[in-house]
Structure 1
C-alpha cells in the first residue's frame, strides 16, 4: 500500500476511506476497549472484593480505584492527542502512538494482574489508563485525518461497533479465562494482537517537520485552553457527551453488585456477560445503520437527541422494574440508544473541531467527556447506594442526567 502524500496531514480529506483501512482502525479501537472493559466490567470488581481491608466496603474500593484511573485518563487523552499532532515521524502522526500505547497497556495489565494490595491495584489501573489512552487518542484522531465529513457517520458506526465488540470480548476474556490473573493476561494479549493490522498494514499521513506546531511545553499546555465563548458549539457538544456518558456510567458502575445484592443472581459474573451480550446485539443492530442514516440525511442532532431519550427510558427500567427480565429489557434498549449515539455523536464531534492541526488535542479534550464521568460517577454513586436510597434512586438520578444531556444537543448551532 502506498504512503499518503505529506500535504494530507493538515488538509480536509476528500477521498473516501477504504474498507481495509476502516476495518483495521476499527479492530484497533476494539482491542483498546477490550483492554479497558475486561477490568472495568469484571476484574476490578473481583479484585476490589478480594483486597478490600476489613471494615471497608468493596464499593468504596472500586470507586476509589476507578476514580483515580479516570483522573489519569482525563489528562492522558488530550496530552497524547496533542503529542501525536506534533509528531513528524516517517511512520505518520498516529501509528507510533497506537503501537507504543498498546504495548505499554499490555505491560500495565500484567502488572495489575499481580497486585495484592489496594494501592498496587490503583497504581496498575492508573498505568493502564495512561498507556491505553495514548493509543485511543491516536485512533480517534485518525478519523478526521482520513475520512471526509460525508462518510464520518458510517465510519463512526464501524468504529463504534468495534468498540462494543471490544467490550464484549474483554468481558468474555475476563469471565472465561479462568481467574483474575488469567483474565488480565488474556486482555493484554488481545490488546496487542488487535492493533497489529493497523500498525503494520496502513500508513498515516506524514507531517513535514516544517509544519510541526511551534513552541515548547508552554505552548503545548496553552493549547488546551479552548474558549467556550469563541467555540460555543464545541462547548455544547462536550457538555452533551459528558452528561449522556455520566448517566451511562452511573447505570453501569455497580452492575455486578446490582445483580448480586439486589437481584440475587446465583452467577452475577455470568449475568454481567449475558447483559453485555444482549446490549451488544442491539447496539450492533443500530450503530452502523444510525451512522449511515445520519450521513444520508445530512443531520446529526435529532439522532443524538432521540438516542439519549431512549437510553433514559432504559435506565428508568432499572430503577422501576428490578427483576432479571427488567434488566434484560434495559440492556436491549440501552444498546439501541447507545448504538445510534456512539456513531452519530462521534461524527458530530469531528464537525465542531476548530483546526486541522490540532485534531488530536481537540478530540482529546472532547474525550475528557468520556473519562470525567468515571470520576464523577463513583463520587455520586457510592453515597447514593450506601446512604441515600440505594439502587432505585441511583438509576433515577442516572436517567435524569442522561435526559438533560440529550436535550442540550439542541443548543449546537453549526451542525444540523
Structure 2
C-alpha cells in the first residue's frame, strides 16, 4: 500500500538517522516563528467565537427571551446541549479528517468548514426570536467550532517537530486567556447591539482563519492509502484501549482530573465570592473579572515559559507534575482564604499552574499518541478529558456542597485534591521523560 507523500522538507528529514517514527511532525524541520504567530492568531479567533456565547452573549439573549424565573433552566439546557455536542463532534471530526483525501489536504477543508459554520451558527443566534431557534443556533455553533478546534489541536502533531512542541503548545495555551478577556471586552464594547455581539466574534473566527489556510502546508492522503471506515470504526472513534495505550490513558486521566477542578472554579466563582468571602451581589461581577484577569495574566506568562523550558530540557513529565501541584495548591489557598487580596493571589497562582499544565501536557500527549495515522482522532478523544468535566461539574458540585453543608471551602478543597491526583496520574507515563 502506497503511503501519502510528505512535503519535500519532511521527506528529507525522515531519511535522516534517528528520525522518530511517532508521526510526520517528529520528522519535520523546525517551523518558523511566523507559522506560530499565524497559528496563534487563528486560535485567538477560535476562543473568542467559542467563549463569547458561553460567558456573556447567550445569557443576554436568554434574558431577553424568557421570564426571569426560567432564565437559569433555559441557559443550562442550551449550554448542556452544546457541551454534549462538543463531546461527540471533536473526535468524530478528527477521525474523518484523518481519512480525508482532498487535494487541498487533510485538515484545510475541515478548517474552512468549521470557521464558516461557526459564523453561520452565530448569525442564527443573533437573529433568534425564540428559544428553539437560539438552541438550534448554539447547536450549529457547537458543531462547527468543535470541528475547527479539532483541526487546530491536530496541528501540533501534524506540523510541529518534537523539539518545538512545548513552545507550540505554550503558544496555544496563551490564546485561551487572550480570547476569554478579549472576547469579554469586545462584547462589552458592542453592547447593547445583540446582533453585533454575536456576529463580530463569529466573524473573527472566520476571517482570522484565512491567512492560515493559504499558508498552511497541509498533509495529503492518497485514496489508495485511506483505511476503510464503517459503523464499527465510528463507534471505536470514542475509544482508546487503556491496556494497549497506557501512557495515553494516564495522560487522559491527569487532564480529566485537572480540568474537573478548573470547572469548579469557573462555574461557581461568583457564588464562592458571595458565600465564602462575603462579597455583595453588586460587587461580584467586578471581582470575577479581576480574578479572571489575574489568572489570565499568569497563564499568559507561564504557558510559553513552561513550554519553552520543557523543549530546552527535553522533559515533559516533571513540568506537568509540578504544574498540577501548583494548581492544586491554589485551590487550597482559595478554600482557606478570607479576603479579596488573598483571592486574587490564589487566582494568580492558579494561572501559573493552569498555564504551564495545559502547555506542557498537550506537548506530552502528542509524544505518546497511540496511532500516527489517527492523530486528529486520538487528540479528539484526548480533548474529551477537557469537555467531560464541563458537563460533570454542574452535577458533582451540588453533591459536594450538600455533603459539605454548603461550604465552598469544602468544594475548593476537593478541587485541590483533584489537582494533586492529576499530578500523581502523570507519574506512570513511560514513553516520554
Query: 1:128 pairs with 98, 122, 141, which one?
Result: 141
Displacement of 1:323 in angstroms is: 3.7
Displacement of 1:107 in angstroms is: 1.6
* Alignment-derived partner of residue 415 in structure 1: 432
Normalised by the length of structure 2, the TM-score is: 0.87
* Alignment-derived partner of residue 255 in structure 1: 269
Distance in 1 (CA, whole Å) between partners of 2:208 and 2:172 is 13
* Alignment-derived partner of residue 202 in structure 1: 216
Distance in 2 (CA, whole Å) between partners of 1:386 and 1:39 is 30
Tell me if structure 1 keeps the 8 A contact 2:9–2:29.
Answer: no
Please, which moves more after superposition, 147-156 or 157-166?
157-166
* Alignment-derived partner of residue 308 in structure 1: 324
Does 1:64 pair with 2:67?
A: no
* Alignment-derived partner of residue 286 in structure 1: 302
Does 1:139 pair with 2:152?
A: yes
Distance in 2 (CA, whole Å) between partners of 1:208 and 1:6 is 19
**CA shift digits 1:148-173 (9 cap, x unpaired):** 11111111111212232122212222
Distance in 2 (CA, whole Å) between partners of 1:255 and 1:113 is 28
* Alignment-derived partner of residue 289 in structure 2: 273
Displacement of 1:118 in angstroms is: 4.8
* Alignment-derived partner of residue 369 in structure 1: 385
* Alignment-derived partner of residue 102 in structure 1: 115
Tell me if structure 1 keeps the 8 A contact 2:10–2:28.
Answer: no
Distance in 1 (CA, whole Å) between partners of 2:129 and 2:417 is 38
* Alignment-derived partner of residue 228 in structure 2: 214
State the SS of the aligned residue for 2:191.
coil
Does 1:324 pair with 2:334?
A: no
Distance in 2 (CA, whole Å) between partners of 1:259 and 1:353 is 40
Tell me if structure 1 keeps the 8 A contact 2:102–2:220.
Answer: yes
* Alignment-derived partner of residue 406 in structure 1: 423
**CA shift digits 1:320-373 (9 cap, x unpaired):** 324432332222111111111111000011011112110010000001111101
- Structure 2 CA distance for partners of 1:104 and 1:405, relative to 1, 3 Å: same
Normalised by the length of structure 1, the TM-score is: 0.90
Does 1:158 pair with 2:171?
A: yes
Does 1:36 pair with 2:79?
A: no
Distance in 1 (CA, whole Å) between partners of 2:227 and 2:283 is 54
State the SS of the aligned residue for 2:422.
helix
- Structure 2 CA distance for partners of 1:320 and 1:114, relative to 1, 3 Å: farther
State the SS of the aligned residue for 1:357.
coil
Distance in 2 (CA, whole Å) between partners of 1:275 and 1:99 is 35
Tell me if structure 2 keeps the 8 A contact 1:244–1:401.
Answer: yes
**CA shift digits 1:259-288 (9 cap, x unpaired):** 567522535444433333222211111111
State the SS of the aligned residue for 2:208.
helix
State the SS of the aligned residue for 1:356.
coil
- Structure 2 CA distance for partners of 1:103 and 1:363, relative to 1, 3 Å: same
Query: 1:4 pairs with 7, 25, 37, which one?
Result: 7
- Structure 2 CA distance for partners of 1:256 and 1:61, relative to 1, 3 Å: farther
Displacement of 1:252 in angstroms is: 0.6
Please, which moves more after superposition, 246-255 or 205-214?
205-214
Gaps of 5+ in 2: 1-5, 15-22
Distance in 1 (CA, whole Å) between partners of 2:414 and 2:174 is 28
Query: 1:26 pairs with 14, 35, 40, which one?
Result: 40
Does 1:392 pair with 2:409?
A: yes
Aligned residues: 413
Tell me if structure 1 keeps the 8 A contact 2:258–2:418.
Answer: yes
Distance in 2 (CA, whole Å) between partners of 1:127 and 1:260 is 35
Displacement of 1:198 in angstroms is: 0.6
* Alignment-derived partner of residue 190 in structure 1: 204
